[in-house]
């Protein structure tokens, strides 16, 4: 297939595909799907070999968010029966993180619900990062705390953070239909602040919210332009009690095409399968490892993932290997660029291996502190792009696959790692 040969050539050269080529990947037939996966696999192996990076989420503060992100179980007015708790203490967070590291995770992602951190929150997270790094030598830490104010990215970097996650989630054109309490531009600004501070930027998307193929291509092109080191691809977990509870738009085949498109547009960055992996890829998860080079181990922020051991078994069975702490994730040219950005920001190069980051589950980013008035949610059955029907085929409605997290951080039960 000429399209795939072209995309492989471009991916190996880090050349940007045309929008038409990216759209064509999303439009391939089921008969062509294995060829698409194989082509994306060639690009993946060029930059990341057969390594799979494991990341581990610690939800520092769950629920009670005043923001209104339609996809999020922690949003204002959410009826989802998720765990709700305020900030974990540094030693509690460190204990939770240690379980993930023991399971093979090389990065810990510290996530807190809310519009954005206060300076006191940044200080608190700084102490948490310190505790985690003291107790887990060589671990990378990514923070995901919402919109950043001036100076906060630098303070997180000084406290030892390697990376900062803030997802764009969807295209600029449709952002206003997903969230009303902050803007797409706010999100871009925070990713740029993280970059400028010398933190590795992690920013991704959520697929399955009713968006069009054009929206997906738009957001992935924006992520390439932002030069994120890591791109988490979330597949919407349609939580009961949220406005998007009825949006079951994804099939495993659609998820594979989306991942392949992301790999072709962002060939040399960490493509991470994030929230919704088990719910939407289901038995196709091992195939997706041929495209993505990174996953979350165990549970997500507010939902449960498959057993950590099942993740490890899947990686081994599919012929991949867990990336070790001594290995640099990013290809040399990106790792060097990150080290230069750190130096330019006035800090030394990262002590651990080169970093990126991400936060998964349905929480595509994090923000919020002042209460906002309740508003009409996006109609659950309406596609996000007004007037343009979603092009994805309907997926199976499988609420039975969505399990609210009841263990790990914020509970007395052992975490899943
Ligand atoms: S995504 Fe983050 S900011 Fe938005 S509602 Fe959820 S926790 Fe709040």
SS3 285: helix
- Cα of 201 vs centre of ligand 1, distance in Å, is 19
Number of H-type helices and E-type strands within the chain: 13, 10
Active-site option among 107, 115, 124, 142: 142
Distance, in Å, from the CA atom of 243 to the CA atom of 178, rounded to the nearest integer, reads 10
21: region left, alpha or beta (phi > 0 left; psi from -120 to 50 alpha): alpha
Distance, in Å, from the CA atom of 22 to the CA atom of 26, rounded to the nearest integer, reads 7
Of 274, 368, 370, which is best to mutate to test ligand 1, by the most ligand atoms within 8 angstroms of its C-beta? 368
Q: What domains are defined for the chain?
A: 2-370+377-401 (3.20.20.70)
Report the pLDDT averaged over residues 79-102.
Answer: 93
Tens digit of each residue's pLDDT (9 = 90 or more) over 139-148: 999 999 999 9
Strands (E), 36-106: 51-61
- Cα of 66 vs centre of ligand 1, distance in Å, is 8
Is the pLDDT reported for residue 186 higher than 50? Answer: yes
* Residue 41 token pair: 């696999």
Ligand 1 atom nearest to CA at 366 = 2
Q: Identify any residues that bridge with 85 across adjacent strands, giving them in sequence order.
A: 62
Q: How confident is the model at residue 415 (pLDDT cuts 50, 70, 90)?
A: confident
Tens digit of each residue's pLDDT (9 = 90 or more) over 254-277: 999 999 999 999 999 999 999 999
Active-site option among 44, 65, 124, 366: 65
> Quick one: what percent of the chain has pLDDT higher than 70?
89
Pairing, β 230-235 against β 107-112: unpaired
Closest CA to 169 of 197, 138, 207, 199: 207
Q: Is 202 a catalytic residue?
A: yes
Cβ < 6 Å from ligand 1: which residues? 65, 67, 69, 72, 74-75, 113, 146, 363-368
- In the annotated binding site for [4Fe-4S] cluster, the residues are 65, 69, 72
Q: Report whether 115 contacts 181 (CB < 8 A).
A: yes
Is the pLDDT reported for residue 379 higher than 50? Answer: no
Tens digit of each residue's pLDDT (9 = 90 or more) over 149-167: 999 999 999 999 999 999 9
- In the annotated binding site for [2Fe-2S] cluster, the residues are 109, 142, 202, 272
Of 57, 61, 69, 187, which is best to mutate to test ligand 1, by the most ligand atoms within 8 angstroms of its C-beta? 69
Distance, in Å, from the CA atom of 283 to the CA atom of 242, rounded to the nearest integer, reads 26
Q: Is 69 a catalytic residue?
A: yes
Is the pLDDT reported for residue 384 higher than 60? Answer: no
Q: Report whether 160 contacts 120 (CB < 8 A).
A: no
- In the annotated binding site, the residues are 65, 69, 72, 109, 142, 202, 272
The predicted pLDDT at position 392 comes to: 60
The predicted pLDDT at position 347 comes to: 57
Question: Which amino acid residue places its CA nearest to atom 5 of ligand 1?
Answer: 75
Q: Is 266 a catalytic residue?
A: no
How many CA atoms lie within 13 Å of 230's alpha carbon, on the beta-carbon side?
35
- Cα of 185 vs centre of ligand 1, distance in Å, is 16
Q: Is 359 a catalytic residue?
A: no
Report the pLDDT averaged over residues 322-328.
Answer: 92
Q: How confident is the model at residue 416 (pLDDT cuts 50, 70, 90)?
A: confident
The predicted pLDDT at position 390 comes to: 45
Closest CA to 222 of 287, 169, 285: 169
* Measured CA angle at 343 (ends 338, 344), to 5 deg: 95
Q: Is 109 a catalytic residue?
A: yes
Q: How confident is the model at residue 387 (pLDDT cuts 50, 70, 90)?
A: very low
Mean pLDDT over each residue of the chain, to the nearest integer: 89
Query: In this structure, what DSSP letter does residue 320 have?
Result: -
Distance, in Å, from the CA atom of 397 to the CA atom of 375, rounded to the nearest integer, reads 27
How many CA atoms lie within 13 Å of 346's alpha carbon, on the beta-carbon side?
7
């Amino acid at each position: 297939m000429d399209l795939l040969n072209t995309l492989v050539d471009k991916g190996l050269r880090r050349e940007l595909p045309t929008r038409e080529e990216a759209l064509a990947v999303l439009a391939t037939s089921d008969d062509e799907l294995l060829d698409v996966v194989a082509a994306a696999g060639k690009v993946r192996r060029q930059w990341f070999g057969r390594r799979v990076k494991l990341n581990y989420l610690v939800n520092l503060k769950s629920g009670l968010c005043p923001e209104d992100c339609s996809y999020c179980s922690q949003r204002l007015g959410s009826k989802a029966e998720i765990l709700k708790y305020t900030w974990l203490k540094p030693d509690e967070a460190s204990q939770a993180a240690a379980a993930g590291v023991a399971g093979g995770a090389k990065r810990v992602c510290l996530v807190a619900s809310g519009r954005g951190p206060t300076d006191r929150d940044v200080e608190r997270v700084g102490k948490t990062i310190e505790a985690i790094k003291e107790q887990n030598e060589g671990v990378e830490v990514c923070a995901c705390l919402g919109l950043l104010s001036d100076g906060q990215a630098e303070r997180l970097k000084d406290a030892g953070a390697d990376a900062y996650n803030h997802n764009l989630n969807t295209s600029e054109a449709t952002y206003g239909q997903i969230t009303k309490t902050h803007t797409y531009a706010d999100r871009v600004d925070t990713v740029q602040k993280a970059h400028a501070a010398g933190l590795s930027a992690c920013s991704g998307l959520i697929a399955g919210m009713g968006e069009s193929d054009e929206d997906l291509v738009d957001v992935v092109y924006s992520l390439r332009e932002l030069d994120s080191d890591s791109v988490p691809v979330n597949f919407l977990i349609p939580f009961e009690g949220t406005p998007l509870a009825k949006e079951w738009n994804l099939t495993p085949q659609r998820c594979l095409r989306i991942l392949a498109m992301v790999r072709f547009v962002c060939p040399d960055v960490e493509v991470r399968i994030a929230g919704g992996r088990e719910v939407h890829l289901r038995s196709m998860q091992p195939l997706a490892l041929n495209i993505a080079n990174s996953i979350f181990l165990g549970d997500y922020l507010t939902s449960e993932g498959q057993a950590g051991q099942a993740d490890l078994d899947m990686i081994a069975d599919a012929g991949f290997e867990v990336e070790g702490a001594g290995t640099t994730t990013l290809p040399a040219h990106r790792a060097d660029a990150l080290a230069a950005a750190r130096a330019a920001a006035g800090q030394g190069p990262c002590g651990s291996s080169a970093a990126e980051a991400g936060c998964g589950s349905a929480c595509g980013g994090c923000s919020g502190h002042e209460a906002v008035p309740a508003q009409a949610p996006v109609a659950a059955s309406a596609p996000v792009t007004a007037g343009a029907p979603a092009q994805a085929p309907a997926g199976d409605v499988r609420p039975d696959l969505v399990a609210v997290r009841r263990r790990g951080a914020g509970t007395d039960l052992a975490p899943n790692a």
